[in-house]
Chains A and B, each alone.
Chain A
């Protein structure tokens, strides 16, 4: 595809439920990132994949959050036992690879999660 896509665009769920958010990166991009953005804040890093492996998951807030990228392309962010505080826009980005000094990241439109 032409850009990073994320589904669903909006998700409303009830407290305690499980949700999955999907990210399709730009074809050929080996690096994939998940961020969370709350209202009035900048994106907050959650996890970074290089290929299939999670190279850095230090931003995941707790063990309710998990992400996979089994074939090195599509990634799924999974949130168990959702809490109201998980409500935010979840952004995915991809880049060609990891190089020293960073690479331009291309962002998807985000998934707006609302936990009631």
Chain B
């Protein structure tokens, strides 16, 4: 079963616009991670946010976490065509095994 569920399933925007993806999960977590995947191949780790953190930044990425609502969001600012990919959230509770959602497919049109 998949713990995290990303929303929307697909997102299409123009270059320069911001992209926001959301992730909801069901149980308590220790941390939540966001990954990117190009063309159905290997995943690239983007950012990890711990359960006691509310917001984290990395370059053009901003991740928020609301444990009371069991949700997280990933914001990509000033998107580029190269940001086109699938984005997954993965949650972990105490264990070493993150559980992935189905992902959001992002298309950035040049």
Are A107 and B43 closer than 8 Å at their CB atoms?
yes
| Chain B residues, Cβ within 8 Å of A98 | 96
Are B94 and A41 closer than 8 Å at their CB atoms?
no
Are B40 and A39 closer than 8 Å at their CB atoms?
yes
Are B103 and A109 closer than 8 Å at their CB atoms?
no
Are B2 and A103 closer than 8 Å at their CB atoms?
no
Judge if B62 is at the interface, Cβ distance under 8 Å.
no
Q: How far is the CB of B51 from chain A (nearest CB, A)?
A: 8
Within 64-104 of A, Cβ neighbours of B (below 8 Å) are at 89, 91, 93, 95, 98-104
Q: How many residues of A contact B (CB 8 A)?
A: 33
Given A100-B94, A101-B50, A101-B92, A42-B2 contact (CB < 8 Å): yes
Are A42 and B103 closer than 8 Å at their CB atoms?
yes
Closest A residue by C-beta to B4: A42
| Chain A residues, Cβ within 8 Å of B95 | 102
- The one of B44, B97, B102 in contact with A107, judged by C-beta atoms closer than 8 angstroms, is B44
Are B94 and A89 closer than 8 Å at their CB atoms?
no
Are A41 and B102 closer than 8 Å at their CB atoms?
yes
- The one of B2, B43, B97, B98 in contact with A56, judged by C-beta atoms closer than 8 angstroms, is B97
Give the docked Cα–Cα distance between A98 and B30 (Å). Answer: 14
- The one of B2, B33, B40, B50 in contact with A104, judged by C-beta atoms closer than 8 angstroms, is B33
Are A101 and B44 closer than 8 Å at their CB atoms?
no
Give the docked Cα–Cα distance between A98 and B98 (Å). Answer: 12
| Chain A residues, Cβ within 8 Å of B103 | 41-42
- The one of B41, B98, B99, B101 in contact with A89, judged by C-beta atoms closer than 8 angstroms, is B41
**Across the A-B interface, the 8 shortest Cβ-Cβ residue pairs:** A42-B100, A102-B92, A101-B30, A107-B42, A98-B96, A107-B43, A109-B42, A109-B41
| 17 A-B pairs with C-beta separation under 8 A | A39-B40, A42-B4, A42-B88, A43-B43, A44-B2, A48-B97, A91-B43, A98-B96, A99-B96, A101-B30, A102-B31, A102-B92, A103-B96, A104-B48, A107-B42, A109-B42, A110-B41
- Interface of B toward A, CB cutoff 8 Å: 2, 4, 30-31, 33, 35, 40-45, 48, 50, 88, 90, 92, 94-103
